[in-house]
Copies of this chain bind each other. A is one copy, B any other.
Amino acid sequence: MSHHLSAEMRACIENCLRCYSICLSSFSGHCLEAGGEHIAPAHARLMLACAEICRTSAHFMLLGTPHHRHTCAECAEICRECAADCERVGGMEECVAACRRCAESCAAMAA
C-alpha cells in the first residue's frame, strides 16, 4: 500500500480501517456486554453498517478504482451519523473520535 497511492489516500485508507476496527470491536466487545441503549436495533445496525462501509471504502481505494469517490462520500455520511449516535448513547468516545476522523478524510477524498 504504497508508492502506487498518494499520501492523502494512504491516510484515508488507514482512517477507514481504523474506524472499521473500532466500530466492530466496540459493538462486539462493549455494546453487546453493556446492553440497553447500546443494543437498541437502530444503534446496532448503524454500527455494523459503519464498519462495513469503512471496509468497502478502504477496499475501493486499495483497488485504485475511480469509484472510490462515491464510496468515500457514503462512508463520510454514515460515519457522521454513527459519531452522533455514539455520542448520544454515551461512553463511546473512542468510536466517536474514529468516526469523526474517518468522515473528515473520506469527505476530502470524495470532493
Contacts and interface: CB of A to CB of B under 8 A. Distances in A.
A41 B33 contact: yes
Interface string A29-56: 1101101000101001110110011011
A56 to B, nearest CB: 5
Given A45-B64, A59-B52, A4 B24 contact: no
B5 A29 contact: yes
Interface in A5-21: 5, 13, 17-18, 21
17 contacts: A1-B25, A1-B26, A5-B25, A24-B63, A28-B48, A28-B63, A32-B41, A32-B44, A35-B39, A39-B39, A46-B65, A48-B63, A49-B63, A52-B56, A52-B60, A53-B56, A55-B55
